[in-house]
Amino acid sequence: MLTETHTVSLPTSRQVKILEQSGLASRAGVAILAKADTGWEVIHRQVLIPGHVVIVHITNRINQESFWVLGVYGDISRGSVLLSQFVERLRFRMSAFVKRQARTHWGGCFAIGDWNFVEHMGDRYPSGSNQSITKKLLANFEDIKKLCTLCDVPGRGPAPKAWTYSKMTHNGMTYSRLDRIYRPSSCWESGGVLPIATKWSDHRVLIATIHVRKPKVEKAVPAPRLPAVEVLDKAKKFWPSVLSSWDLLTKNGPVTLEKWKAFKDRVLHTGQTEVAAMKAMGKKDWLAALQREQVAPENILSAVAKANTFLWSKKEPPARMVPHWPAAIPAYEDTPAARRGFTPSPNSPWQLPTHPKNGPPGTASGTACLHQGTLRKIDLYLEYSTISDV
């Protein structure tokens, strides 16, 4: 909040965002400011008294909190009489404004600024410098507090340690708490209040810490992430696309932050797209399959039941037979004769070396074959086994 701007339009700045302002050239001005790039945005704004009072409804796009802020700069251009009329005028316009807002929701507002009068006589020092404040002014101010459910941040009573204005008079230095910060009485809690003296103004900068009791917490949405590398390796187009994007990133000059972000976005998009395509290919759309078979709608349920019955009624493969090797393979010293045209190949695992009586190994008489009785048992074994089991 910035008061006494004395300008119609404040200059723009990279550090400060102007949410709302109203000024009268060389006479008065009030503005509501926020730090730039912090997410504050204005939902509704209205000038209640040009150059002196503005009200804005602001929200934050990061935490979704929203509230009303009333900015006030008391009009004392013609003394205390005009100040009393100013407060009465503000009460009338705030009453009409709150009545309109109450149709939807109105939970009060913050009120900050230079009111140019003190609510408590104890907010002045020394006590002899007290000015007479009319009962009408205080009554109108109390009505404004009720309309906005205002609560003084330092507390209900006077707070001399929060003096914000100083002036040298013939009686010495006088102090006053003209600048104040009010908060809604519900949903918020007050913290510390700190006035900071400056060399460029007779007013001090007033800082207050205020906490919301029930913050708006929304469900967090996790940021998109790439799947595991094992999944990406199965996608045919992922790595070629990534390498192509890398060449595009590094071939033209240095890598800037903008180019690096674009590269990461392309990699993320490619990975998610490829994985989604792989999942889509693996899905079985049974409804589309039934439509292609031209199944009538009234027969879909029976077709699905029949399909499930078919899936669960498949016959299991026959049990594996364990061969009896002592009966299937003859002793090495016996030389079986070749029967039924069976002659083992040189690389056949069924060619069994023996020790012939009439010839060296490798001759025709030294090659062992399986006799006819063994062939049948081997045939039975091959039906239910594999060569690797031998």
Q: How many other β-carbons are positioned within 10 Å of the β-carbon of residue 206?
A: 23
Quick one: pLDDT at residue 87?
Answer: 93
Quick one: pLDDT at residue 314?
Answer: 57
Cα separation, 361 vs 353, whole angstroms: 8
| Residue ending a domain, choose from 181, 212, 243 | 212
Q: How many other β-carbons are positioned within 10 Å of the β-carbon of residue 148?
A: 24
| Residue ending a domain, choose from 312, 344, 362 | 312
Quick one: pLDDT at residue 97?
Answer: 93
| Residues 101 and 6 placed together within one structural domain of the fold | yes
How does DSSP assign 248-296, residue by residue? HHHSSSS--HHHHHHHHHHHHHHHHHHHHHHHHHH---HHHHHHHTT--
One digit per residue, pLDDT tens: the chain, 390 residues? 566 677 778 877 888 888 888 878 777 888 888 888 888 889 999 999 998 999 999 988 877 788 999 999 988 887 777 898 999 999 999 999 999 988 888 889 999 989 988 888 888 888 755 566 778 899 999 999 999 999 999 888 888 888 899 888 888 888 899 999 999 988 888 888 888 888 888 888 888 888 888 877 666 677 788 888 888 888 888 888 888 888 888 887 788 888 888 889 989 999 888 888 877 765 555 556 656 666 677 777 777 777 777 666 656 666 655 544 444 444 444 444 545 555 555 554 445 454 444 444 444 443 344 444 444 444 444 444 444 444
CA distances from 5 to 2, 23, 28, 56, 114 (A): 7, 7, 6, 18, 12
* Domain assignment present for 261: yes
| Residues 240 and 204 placed together within one structural domain of the fold | no
User: Are the beta carbons of 356 and 335 closer than 8 angstroms?
Assistant: yes
How does DSSP assign 142-198, residue by residue? HHHHHHHTEEETT-SS--GGG--EEEEETTEEEEE--EEEEEESSSEEEEEEEEE--
Domain that holds residue 111: 2-212
Quick one: pLDDT at residue 382?
Answer: 47
| Residues 75 and 179 placed together within one structural domain of the fold | yes
* Domain assignment present for 96: yes
| Residues 206 and 64 placed together within one structural domain of the fold | yes
* Domain assignment present for 318: no
User: Are the beta carbons of 351 and 367 closer than 8 angstroms?
Assistant: yes
Give the total number of structural domains in the chain: 3
* Domain assignment present for 320: no
CATH classification of the domain holding 163 = 3.60.10.10
| Residue ending a domain, choose from 155, 185, 212 | 212
| Residues 102 and 199 placed together within one structural domain of the fold | yes
Q: Are strands 66-73 and 110-114 parallel, antiparallel or unpaired?
A: parallel
Quick one: pLDDT at residue 17?
Answer: 86
| Residues 48 and 186 placed together within one structural domain of the fold | yes
| Residues 264 and 337 placed together within one structural domain of the fold | no
Close Cβ partners of 109 (under 8 Å, ≥ 6 residues apart): 55, 67, 68, 69, 70, 148, 150, 184
Cα separation, 164 vs 178, whole angstroms: 6
| Residues 22 and 143 placed together within one structural domain of the fold | yes
Cα separation, 265 vs 128, whole angstroms: 69
Query: In sequence order, what are the beta bridge partners of 183?
Result: 151
**Three-state SS at 368:** strand
| Residues 137 and 278 placed together within one structural domain of the fold | no
* Domain assignment present for 87: yes
| Residues 265 and 184 placed together within one structural domain of the fold | no
Quick one: pLDDT at residue 144?
Answer: 94
Q: Token pair for residue 94?
A: 């705030």
CA distances from 310 to 294, 297, 307, 314, 315 (A): 19, 20, 5, 7, 10
Nearest of 190, 188, 124 to residue 160 by alpha carbon: 124
Cα separation, 216 vs 198, whole angstroms: 36
Close Cβ partners of 157 (under 8 Å, ≥ 6 residues apart): 120, 122
| Residues 33 and 154 placed together within one structural domain of the fold | yes
| Residues 164 and 298 placed together within one structural domain of the fold | no
* Domain assignment present for 49: yes
* Domain assignment present for 333: yes
* Domain assignment present for 224: no
Cα separation, 91 vs 73, whole angstroms: 14
